[in-house]
Amino acid sequence: MQLIVNGQEQSVDDASTLLDLLIEMNFKAEQKGIAVAVNAEVIARAIWADMRLRNGDRVDIIHAVQGG
Residues 54-63 have pLDDT tens digits of 999 999 999 8
Domain boundaries, the chain: 2-63
Pairing relationship of beta strands 34-38 and 41-42 according to DSSP bridges: antiparallel
pTM metric for this prediction: 0.89
Q: What is the spatial distance between Cα 13 and Cα 40, in angstroms, rounded to a whole number?
A: 22
Strand, coil or helix: what is 28? coil
Residues 6+ apart with CB under 8 A from 50: 17
What is the third-level CATH fold of 2-63? Ubiquitin-like (UB roll) (3.10.20)
> What's the mean pLDDT when you consider all of the chain?
94
User: Is residue 28 over pLDDT 90?
Assistant: no
Cα–Cα distance, 34 to 50 (Å, whole number): 17
Q: How confident is the model at residue 41 (pLDDT cuts 50, 70, 90)?
A: very high
Q: CA nearest 33: which of 61, 6, 62, 64?
A: 64
pLDDT band of 68, cuts 50, 70, 90: low
